[in-house]
Amino acid sequence: MPIMIDKHDAKEQKLALQFVAENYEVTKLDGNFQRYGGFDTGSGWNLKDGLSYLQCLITGTTYNDIINIDVEAALRHAEDEECEDSIEYYSSVLKEGYEYVSVDGNNTASFVAAFLSSQERLKISIEGSKKKKLFSELNQKDQKRVQFVEAINVITLRKILIEEACDLFRNLNKQTSLNNQEHRQARWSGLSKYIRDFSNGTNRKIFLNFIYNDEKNLDTRSHEEMVALFALKCQKTTPDKTKLSKTFLDALYEDNDNLKAHTKQRVKSVLCEVLKMAEQVNEGNPLKHKLKKGQLHALFDFVDMIIGGKNLVIKDSEALFEWFLGADISFLNKAKSVTEEQQEELSYSYWTRFYNLPMYYKNILSMFEAKLLEEMDNLYASGIIKPKRTSADTFTWEQKLQLFDEQKGILRTGAKMNILDMYLGKYEADHRVPVNEGGQTTIENGELMTVAQNRQKGSQTNEQHFDFQR
């Protein structure tokens, strides 16, 4: 403790439980490096743990510390040190209305605050009585004793940068039950922020709608681990029999710059498309039977193949997800006839259980690719997917000028075009037969029209009108 006090200008004091509870209301639990623990969250103490602690606290049979950061003091220190990350962080915390940031002891403070507010599930017995009671059910004398006599040791850090806070949290919890992903994410780095940002926010719907029944399941960060694993798959080329295990993910986090820009964009694009599926499928009618993690990873890989490998555009997310489920069921049914000796070689269900092994997720992707190619025409015809337009599908300026000449400066409606408006961008070159129906970017298949006319036409085919179109 002396080292912490000297290094971070720590203030150590005994605080009565009433003041612990009051401080808790203005203390930020930052998921950027903390675990999502506490009375109302899912990765810390459960109800039994919390009740046991409260009972021991009141009877004087337990001792622990709460460690917080004084935000105003830490901001002044960050300004003195010219640490931009810390300045930005502590400034934003102050704007949110917080005075402290929790480093350790959030479970303690959370359950104390909950007990003093008489949360209905928190009943304990006071000395001399066997009956368990809510705080509000205690007599006035016992309430005052609990509020102002009982105390907890609180250490407030005043000179600590945000990266140091992350390191301190990890060090304090080396011997605790933090899971692997909680340890990985307790870093102030670009990679950690990227994984957190693209695993949470609106993207939480992916995991809530497809995998979990309760939002508390996300507190353990297993969804962040799934995103990190997918990013690792996109980035690394590993031998087929090398498992993308804890070691690989740990190394990914230890190297802050390990994700390339194109990998980040690839992950972002896939999650965006899967989110559309999750939102459309679950709108007012959530899945009663959730997907397994291996299935979700297969969906990630499948969508990645569609929009990246095949360069296709998903037009109907719900219909494509339904197609994916149909393919998944057919693969699972085929796997039922595979003997136990052939599981590793031939079983789709076996591969999805061990989805972090390259040889297996590559096999899964090959099965979806083969089925996709078989049914590509039907998916096109149904409007579920279509080819992505490229520069080859866009008329050049020279072609637009030639179309102006071929049309003799007249629109299909008979109205005259103005050459100056042409240069002002008031006319667009349209494919008479759309690209998704095989139309080519040629003069014979082109036509100038106003922006409004082009939007109205959409993806429809126009009849031939001008001589050059015949």
Q: Indicate the SS3 state at residue 100.
A: strand
Give residue 93's Cα distance to chain centre.
22
Q: How far apart are CA 285 and CA 298, in angstroms?
A: 23
The answer to whether residues 29 and 104 touch, using CB atoms and an 8 Å cutoff, is no
Q: Any bridge partners for residue 191, and if so which?
A: none
State which residues of the chain have pLDDT below 70.
Answer: 1-5, 42-44, 128, 174-178, 237-246, 255-258, 283-285, 389-391, 436
How many other C-beta atoms lie within 10 A of the C-beta of residue 206? 24
Distances (CA, A) of 319 to 205, 315, 328, 376: 18, 9, 14, 14
Burial of 136 (0-12, 13-18, 19+ CB in 10 A): exposed
Distances (CA, A) of 282 to 125, 202, 205, 374, 387: 45, 14, 9, 28, 27
So where are the chain's domains?
2-178, 199-387, 391-469
Q: How far apart are CA 231 and CA 67, in angstroms?
A: 34
The answer to whether residues 168 and 24 touch, using CB atoms and an 8 Å cutoff, is no
With CA atoms as reference, report the closest residue to 244 among 267, 269, 226: 226
Give residue 90's Cα distance to chain centre.
24
For residue 160, the model assigns a pLDDT of: 95
Distances (CA, A) of 60 to 149, 152, 235, 344, 438: 11, 11, 53, 57, 80
Encoded tokens for 381: 């015809």
Q: How far apart are CA 154 and CA 166, in angstroms?
A: 19
For residue 42, the model assigns a pLDDT of: 62
Encoded tokens for 185: 């994410």
For residue 310, the model assigns a pLDDT of: 86
For residue 109, the model assigns a pLDDT of: 92
